[in-house]
């Protein structure tokens, strides 16, 4: 059996769709979880998110950031604020996964940056990239990792980010869809606000 690294193989939506039989849903209600009327954030949450954004933009001004720094500055604080570090959730970092294609005799291997789960249900899979990396390349890779989910009839959700931009992904069965792109460079508001609101909503699924 041939073993292939996901990061070396899956670099486009066409590749992930053709290899795993996935299709993007055209149903506007398929991924409604990111478009709800969410509970307002507290002032403390907003202040914390403002500090996270300010800190990130200060560091990015000094040059492109590594994947590890993106995780420290943005991803870890978001998971903490969304209560994913508390019971009943469990957190795994650099979780190794394998997807076996028996027909083609291929095993796809990779590592999930952060995996949040409750019992056997994957709630959020976080795929983070360095700031110089287009996060749209990470979305097909995240979809590939979601193929390893043991969720069965339950949907799986992912958050993909390169620090600058954030996008949510939902996979259910052989279909998937994407949220809007939330950018830290948006001047009119701190887009970490809706990102946290969506994460907190997913925590209650």
How many of the other CB atoms lie within 10 Å of CB of 85? 13
N-term to C-term CA, the chain: 38
What pLDDT, on the 0 to 100 scale, is given for residue 32? 96
* Segments of the chain assigned E as strands: 2-5, 23-24, 90-101, 106-118, 121-128, 156-161, 165-172, 175-178, 182-183
pLDDT at 103: 74
Radius of gyration of the chain (CA): 17
What pLDDT was estimated at residue 90? 95
Dihedral of alpha carbons 157, 23, 95, 7, sign? negative
Structure tokens at 2: 């041939």
Cα dist from 29 to 94, 123, 130, 181, whole Å: 32, 19, 32, 18
Instruction: Tell me the per-residue pLDDT of 161-175, one tens digit each, with 9 for 90 and over.
Output: 988 899 999 999 999
Which tokens in the block code for residue 141? 């890779």
Q: Are 139 and 106 in contact (CB under 8 A)?
A: no
Query: Hunting for tokens 């009839």 — which residue is that?
Result: 153
Model confidence, pTM: 0.93
Q: Smallest Cα–Cα separation from 91: which of 121, 68, 73, 114?
A: 114
pLDDT for 71-129, tens place per residue?
A: 899 999 999 999 999 999 999 988 898 888 877 788 889 889 899 999 888 998 888 87
Task: Judge whether residue 191 has pLDDT over 70.
Answer: yes
């Amino acid at each position: 059996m041939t073993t292939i690294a996901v990061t070396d193989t899956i670099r486009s939506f066409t590749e992930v769709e053709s290899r795993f039989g996935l299709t993007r849903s055209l149903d506007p209600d398929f991924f409604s979880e990111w478009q709800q009327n969410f509970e307002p954030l507290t002032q403390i949450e907003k202040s914390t998110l403002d500090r996270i954004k300010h800190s990130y933009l200060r560091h990015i001004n000094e040059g492109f950031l590594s994947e590890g720094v993106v995780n420290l500055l943005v991803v870890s604080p978001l998971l903490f604020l969304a209560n994913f570090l508390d019971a009943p959730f469990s957190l795994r970092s650099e979780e190794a996964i394998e997807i076996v294609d028996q027909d083609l005799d291929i095993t796809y291997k990779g590592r999930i940056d952060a995996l949040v789960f409750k019992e056997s249900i994957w709630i959020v899979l976080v795929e983070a990239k360095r700031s110089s990396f287009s996060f749209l390349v990470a979305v097909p890779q995240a979809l590939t990792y979601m193929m390893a989910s043991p969720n069965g009839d339950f949907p799986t959700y992912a958050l993909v980010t390169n620090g600058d931009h954030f996008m949510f992904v939902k996979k259910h069965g052989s279909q998937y869809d994407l949220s809007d792109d939330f950018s830290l460079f948006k001047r009119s508001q701190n887009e970490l606000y809706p990102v946290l609101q969506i994460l907190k909503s997913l925590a209650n699924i």
